[in-house]
Amino acid sequence: MQKIVGKYSFNMNHLIGKGAYGTVYKGISNDGLPVAIKVIDRRMINQTNTQQLLNEIRSMKQLNHKNIVKFLDFYETQNNFYIISEFCNGGDLRDIIKRGKLDSKSVVNILKQILNGYHQLYQNSLIHRDLKPANILLHQGITKLADFGFAKKIDFENDLMTSIAGTPLYMAPQVILRQPYTSKCDIWSLGMVLYELLFQKPPINAENIIQLQERICKPIIVPQLDNSQLQQLIQGCLQIHEENRINWDEIYQNPLIQEQQQQENTKRQYAGILEEVEPDQTDYRKFLITNYLQIEFEANQRIYLNQLNFARSAFNFSFFIQQFEQSFQDLAQNLRWFSFNWLQQLENSKFLKEQQKFFNDERGLYCITQLKQMKQAFIDNCPENYQSLAFDMMKLLSILEEHQTNLSANLGTLNRHQLLATYMIKYLNKTLRTARLNECFYVADLQDIQKFPDKEIMQRILEF
């Protein structure tokens, strides 16, 4: 069953999971961007749950960080509340735990990303109060904190809280025993998560809250690890009494975290944004800009990279369809002409480059470098007379429309490569009619689409 909520839609069969008090579905925005839609039935909301809902919305609106799931929108109807947030395609830490034991280096990397996200909570005087593997999501290799239904604004130094919040197995002893607690309750939960990542099981096992109240008072001993600093940090998190538990400053100043930060700082500031490829590689994976929206670029620089990524997407797709029959060669050629033409418009755009702070730092120069690389890639893979070729947008749209019609008529018989091509053709046909140089918009990436099974690709095609 398909439902429409404002600028978004979702299928009731596309269930992702359940949060503190709502059901989460995978949806899609009007411009084709995948989203997560949390649905809360008004009939199930009492005064306490309503406050939790308001807390989540208030908390998410305050937060903007690449290691925190991004809040997008909120809607109310007669029957439901809807919270729209970014969709994370990598599952959560439960999936990582199920795959088997992680080495210490991998756990430290996850820890560092959790701390990066949590630091923004700290800056906004928020605690999460429900840290657990299910609420730590993954998207394109990035770890993100999610589900802020229990988040509460506090004074980090002085406030003591007495309310019961969170998932029992990961709750701090003070919460379980209904004692006053501080922001250190999240430190306990962090230790529980790290322990489970390393050993595939929590340090405490209980079938009900009564058992948990009995067992949580027993000291936890972290087994020996090859990384003694990580072992000591987890041990410090899992101290029963708050006065003995390490605090947030001690965690952020821990040599393990500082060492990880120093290693990252020695790398080139924007290394990793472009996927490493061989110089002569010319397939659809070339020049993949993976996380330009997460880097702290100026607004006009983000638009610039978004436009560049769109040209890259069309350019690389042209190589993908070269393996098809002869009738697709004209489309491939026209997509390359379009890409080069789009790059030229971008290069000459006064709207972008006359904006303040575009060229005066490394980020602006990075943007220009990416455009030069893309133009050179075009020149390296096109005829010598490319400069004399005229681009005809109407011709490209006509070719796209023709292929879209032919492929859609035989949708049920298409193989995987043809399904992927159909999706990209429908995406380009729609986007080329609405895209503007002065705004960001969704850029479909063939490599991301390839991660989905045929059934989901088919569904996405039908949803266009």
**Annotated binding site, which residues?**
38
What residue spans of 99-183 are helical by DSSP H? 104-123, 173-176
Residue 249 appears among annotated catalytic residues: no
263-270: long-range pairs with CB below 8 Å, 24+: 269/362, 270/295, 270/362, 270/363, 270/366
* Catalytic residue (one of 92, 130, 147, 186): 130
Tally of CA atoms within 13 A in the half-sphere of 92 that contains its CB: 19
Would you tell me how many other CB atoms lie within 10 Å of the CB of residue 12? Answer: 11
Please say whether the beta carbons of 321 and 286 come within 8 A.
no
- Compute the half-sphere exposure of residue 51: CA atoms within 13 Å on the CB side of its CA: 8
DSSP state of 238: T
Q: How far is CA 120 from CA 47, 64, 230, 308, in A?
A: 28, 8, 23, 30
Are 24 and 16 a contacting pair, CB within 8 Å? yes
Please state the residue numbers annotated as binding site for ATP: 38
d(CA 224, CA 208): 29
Secondary structure in 3-state letters for 86-98 = ECCCCCEHHHHHH
Burial label for 439, CB within 10 Å (0-12, 13-18, 19+), is: exposed
Residues annotated as catalytic are 130
